[in-house]
Structure 1
């Protein structure tokens, strides 16, 4: 089960993403009484055996959430139409709280941040994908990812994402998509998450991803979206290096955030203000 639910109660409004696949609850924003929200989330956690709750909170909501046992794992400065979101997490099991790779991920991050930043354009043989590309995109994601947090292996899911405003860009060779990425746009919050980055193993040395990401940024600027962020596998030197070299800044790490690649993984947050270009 993966579904959004809009909660409206006396003294509480919230947008909640119920994600049984990743065994978590995610609140993408709320207004109102923190205690009421906490009661609702705990009822859901017990009913569905969720192991982690992640809330994207505004500044004035941080202290009340800390009183409920939440810890700050990071944030995105421009998430709420230019205002900062604090990523507040509550872990409901010991296994979900403890990471086996934290020291290794710190070493990867340190090595990445030593790299020089590079000038990259978003031109070249890049296509903004349409629903006609859905089958080919799903096939790409099937090859690259054994496991993924959302069902990108399903062409219908890809089509639905496009209809909801997600922008996919891709590079084709001999009529076959070899690399792709997307921007999941939130018009209400004026931000976009750069995600779904994949390159076929046979083409990994081509350096395609930086060009795809830059093209996505150009598409977002045309829509007056200036807050771009991503949540990248903390164990992936290549993906973290790509965002660092494109000018993104590290904003924290989400422990045991989602199932991706082959297991439950920690994810690094990176952000860039596109208005600074």
Structure 2
């Protein structure tokens, strides 16, 4: 049976409406947008978070509503540049426990970010080595992709180790690029497309350990960017594990801009981890 990682529901009040994601795997409540009164929406979000034992609320909002959310105890964690059809979205968070609010690795992550910042940005895309090939994934690849994510990630925010879930993502419009070697998928990444706001999240980045010396992830992300641009989607962003030097370096070297860090944002690899936000609004 397909495991559903979250429940999506529409919440409305006398002066607001919003789509809420109860994200049980990551113990959080997420709102990607709302209309109407920010104060009323924030009050309802707090009620829902308490009701479902969420330790974090994560909201993307427009600049004009930031002040209202700050007055309700939220804090700004990052900026999704160009998210709303070219206009910026501000990532605000509200925490309900000291444990969720506190990062034990913040200084180490700052040092990683500093080291990444010393590297050249907008570097050349590596050449695919002999014996490797790249292509868009198809539905028939769902099982091979699920196997890849199961090997690479002991814990992941979504059930990418389930072929049915991977296939469902494809049916809903998520685009995967894969690299093969010897008939095996050895690396993959996806672009989760938001057709309402014409943006895409670069995510689900995974490479088998024995193939990590070739810069395959740069090749995959670049290929996804070209696919998105062909579809007239110009806002590309990603959330990278703040403790991963390699993934942060990939986005920096591909010309993405660091625009914030989301504290203990999701369960990934082996624990709740801080995620660095990298954004690349094409043309800005």
Q: TM-score, normalised by structure 1?
A: 0.97
Partner Cα distance (1:29, 1:13) in 2: 9
Could you list the per-position Cα deviations for residues 166-202 of structure 1 after superposition, in whole angstroms to 9, with x for gaps in the alignment? 0000001111100000000001011000000000011
In structure 2, the partner of 1:186 is: 194
Contact 2:126 2:215 in 1 (8 A): no
In structure 2, the partner of 1:165 is: 173
Residue 109 (str. 1) matches residue 109 (str. 2): no
Q: TM-score, normalised by structure 2?
A: 0.94
Partner Cα distance (2:8, 2:138) in 1: 24
In structure 2, the partner of 1:223 is: 231
Residue 67 (str. 1) matches residue 71 (str. 2): yes
Residue 147 (str. 1) matches residue 165 (str. 2): no
In structure 2, the partner of 1:78 is: 82
Aligned length: 276
Contact 1:256 1:265 in 2 (8 A): yes
Give the direction of change, closer, same or farther, for the CA distance of 1:121–1:221 in structure 2 (3 Å limit).
farther
In structure 1, the partner of 2:124 is: 119
Could you list the per-position Cα deviations for residues 78-135 of structure 1 after superposition, in whole angstroms to 9, with x for gaps in the alignment? 0000000000001110001000000000000000010012121797721100100000
Give 1:247-262 correspondences, 5 Å limit.
247-262=255-270
Could you list the per-position Cα deviations for residues 23-58 of structure 1 after superposition, in whole angstroms to 9, with x for gaps in the alignment? 100100011112321222122112111000011010
Q: Which runs of 5+ in 2 are unaligned?
A: none
**3-state secondary structure, aligned to 1:205:** coil
Contact 2:58 2:92 in 1 (8 A): yes
Partner Cα distance (2:164, 2:197) in 1: 26
**3-state secondary structure, aligned to 2:189:** strand
Contact 1:231 1:268 in 2 (8 A): yes
**3-state secondary structure, aligned to 1:157:** helix
In structure 1, the partner of 2:251 is: 243
Give the direction of change, closer, same or farther, for the CA distance of 1:122–1:181 in structure 2 (3 Å limit).
farther
Partner Cα distance (1:34, 1:169) in 2: 38
Candidates 91, 98, 103, aligned match of 2:102: 98
Candidates 58, 61, 68, aligned match of 2:62: 58
Contact 2:133 2:181 in 1 (8 A): no
Q: Which runs of 5+ in 1 are unaligned?
A: none
Residue 6 (str. 1) matches residue 14 (str. 2): no
